[in-house]
Structure 1
């Protein structure tokens, strides 16, 4: 184990070596089913990063002390990407984003927060102008950094057959975010979705977000996977079947969380498979869950106040990264693959192919910009409709579609949802959602 003080000099070097983000981290772009920086294939070698976990959600990229403590260790680990689950769009992120850039590290950011996210129970009601102002303002704040790799529009909203209806709103949000970026940002920034480790509808969600017209399709798709546990293998873990299932998928695909901890310490021998030609024709790397030790025991480092101590998982992952090279050339990526076919509607898949229009009250933000970021304060965008029935999607019968002032007038129409209560409905939870089949399969390995 190594202590925090041993890396102060390295941190100081990162901090004072000069701010030149665009010279260090050129933007990541999408070509076919892969990511590129210039003409070079880019593979995500990353971790999920949210100190404090879901019980103490805070913006780590607005705290320079935290960034100075952590980023040199990320560089030592061999990372090129981190995922952050929540941010305060009213805070200053310049220093931390520049430190990341100097270390050659990109950011994939979830745009949602405990107060602003899509509710899986009331998805149409939560898709309103208050929410979209937050999302667009977050894009404004982070689009100026060349090391912003992309945005997650949502995380694990679809986690069971009875929540698939919400996929329609997730897809509408991806459409809106891509359109907003096209109108207000001087470069394309990829937008995608992080799916739960639930086999029953994960592939349907992937196909759904990659079907239809170009302007409604996602830029990438990611899913959380905890099926490779301990000294497993490409075949034993079922990763061979995942490659088979997604062969021909036309947009970049990666693991947004991985690193089963049923066997500890984790040895991370899946790294060699993930960055081998067995997988790189379909997958573009992944994000290990997670950097800091939280109650669920997935951490690579232990935080105690301002002190950081690396754990055995850190050293094991570092060893795997340092001994595993990316494949030569383009790794077997494919361009000009066709879009997916939309999954048919069924009792297990309720999403519709006709998307709701942008709420009329949000048009001012789409056309003129989001305006001043409101941060994590103020009223939540989520509320429970008065009759406890969600508004209808196009083509549905039942509850009426929301009016343009639905969210602004929510105190008259229903009960506001705030804080973690909103999360319970909205699926913003960061962490591990694992299907029973995955757990059973993993336990059978040993």
Structure 2
């Protein structure tokens, strides 16, 4: 079995590299196009891909010399999916990664999970913290298979914040010069006071972060910070925002409660991650600031035992509190008319849970239509990722849309996900073709 898996992986990488080298035009015919924006599909369309970009979309016949023709058979052609909050390098239990494995193991398992994520239809992700910069480089250079990655680099946390994963007796890295495992693995920085926050922000940017991730409140996977806590003083958060802006990018913050959300928005933060414990106060503040909210609801399908395995027994009570607030948050976002909503899943610490990444589509149906959810997972998330400005690692085309000049990141889906987004939950059966950057990684039509 292991030999078969290794062979399959090598074939996949080889075929992808070959497709990228040959770059023959690819013409999709007989498809109904969801363009990432409009509720009405473009019926009976043809889409021409040249190299790694979409060249033409038309309801008239198209032709190109030496083009490979793919008859879609009336399926829906849509943009590749975007998950705006993942942790590509935290794919196994946090305690195991911290205590039992070295960087080589992390890299190996992350590479395996990256390919699986691409084959679930996610052609682009925003990594919300951890050592994913090297994985991004390996994928972009054709050494590994996976989605495009917008990496945040190490998360920035105050001492005793959500970025604290030291065991009790481990020394503080800024006091004694010791480097506990999660620090030398580039998972997190501890930074207290404006000078340290500036240094941490600038170091993450030096390493290759496309945006900055700061912890602004208590979290589930960390054991020393209750959920009610507010983290990062106003001047500390503002310092990170200003340092990121100097590089033409932005700060995203981990925040569950109103106080964390309000402090972050006042400091100039434009992307609030999670927010499941917010009330009407937080919802109104996000609306007024015209900020982004990046929630996840796949946690509704997780049980306490899965959380204990992935994050440890101490995380379970906090997880249940966040889970309880999730449905209320969904209703608040809808009621307050917040439009800047990205698609995210934030599944960490468990490879089995990661296989349920696409379950997020069905949970969002409690308040949003299939069309709205598809927008969140394509053009809207792409709009958020583009805020990385001059640090955008993929500037040659647009993401999340099907139009001339956009990247050829495409899915061919059985049925009409614009009317029934749950089709994407069973990705193995219903996603028949996956293309990223003009290369085909899955094709069950041939």
- Normalising by structure 1, report the TM-score: 0.43
Higher relative contact order (CA 8 A, sep 6+): 1
- Normalising by structure 2, report the TM-score: 0.43
